[in-house]
Chain A
Amino acid sequence: GDSVTQMEGPVTLSEEAFLTINCTYTATGYPSLFWYVQYPGEGLQLLLKATKADDKGSNKGFEATYRKETTSFHLEKGSVQVSDSAVYFCALSDPGGGADGLTFGKGTHLIIQP
């Protein structure tokens, strides 16, 4: 079945550091890929997405490129801020996988220190 693997953390960085959160996936079809962010006590919000190979999703300084050859969708940001502290989820949707809905990774807790 479909699966998403991401580094679990917690990942602790200093403000203005470069961020990479790795995400790899397994899917039976041609999935769409997503990054969601969850701030404390809140639901998940879409951060960015890519629907086909080589697409780059970007939002709020975050970027991720859909790499079919390495089945990866790594999240990057050039200079993180304290306000970026949150839990980040990589996810996929796979119409060839049968069920509707997203398959999520376990989440990466990001802590940014001033």
Chain B
Amino acid sequence: NAGVTQTPKFQVLKTGQSMTLQCAQDMNHNSMYWYRQDPGMGLRLIYYSASEGTTDKGEVPNGYNVSRLNKREFSLRLESAAPSQTSVYFCASSERGSSGNTIYFGEGSWLTVV
């Protein structure tokens, strides 16, 4: 039972490079999320998608783009990476929104921008 799978697990980028973090869930969930985790900051929402074909900004969207490719997949793209984007990124999903519903998290992607 895979749950939420994200790739890659580790990545080192040079400033200005681009990359895409991939995420897929096999639980037939409608809602998907991307968070970043930084020391002393907890987790902060970057973008979310309430359903296939829709995306919305979260708390810290600047420097990122997302694509809800289909119901299963939700990717996060860094067009021009900056050192401030060094973080651990988590993809997550829930059946239908976060209100009262459990959100399931992937194992994280460690990104370093040098």
Q: How many residues of B contact A (CB 8 A)?
A: 30
Which residues from A are CB-within-8-Å of B100? Answer: 32, 49, 51, 93
Which residues 75-114 of A have a CB within 8 angstroms of B? 89, 93-95, 99-107
Report which of A46, A51, A100, A104 forms a contact with B97, defined as CB distance below 8 A: A100
Q: Is A14 interfacial (CB 8 A cutoff)? A: no
Interface centre among A36, A102, A103, A104 (most CB of B within 10 A): A102
Residues of chain A in range 43-90 having any CB-CB distance to chain B below 8 Å: 43-46, 49, 51, 89
Do A102 and B103 contact each other (CB < 8 Å), given the known contacts A8-B40, A89-B42?
yes
Q: Name the A residues within 8 Å of B104 (CB-CB).
A: 46
- Give the contacts of A24-49 with B (CB-CB under 8 A): 31-32, 36, 41-46, 49
- For the complex, what is the distance from the CA of A36 to the CA of B92, rounded to whole Å? 13
Report whether B42 and A106 are in contact in the complex, using a CB–CB cutoff of 8 Å. Answer: yes
Q: How large is the interface on A (under 10, 10 to 19, 20 to 34, 35 or more residues)?
A: 20 to 34
Q: Is the CB of A100 within 8 A of B42?
A: no
List of A residues within 8 angstroms of B107 by Cβ:
41-43
Contact of B90 among A31, A44, A95, A107 (CB under 8 A): A44
Given contacts A43-B4, A43-B90, A43-B107, 7 further A-B contacts (CB under 8 A): A42-B107, A44-B90, A46-B103, A89-B43, A100-B56, A102-B45, A106-B40
Pick 25 A–B contacts, CB within 8 A, sort by A. Answer: A8-B40, A32-B99, A41-B107, A42-B107, A43-B106, A44-B90, A44-B105, A46-B102, A49-B100, A93-B97, A93-B98, A93-B99, A93-B100, A93-B101, A94-B99, A99-B45, A99-B56, A99-B59, A100-B97, A101-B45, A101-B58, A101-B98, A101-B103, A102-B98, A106-B42
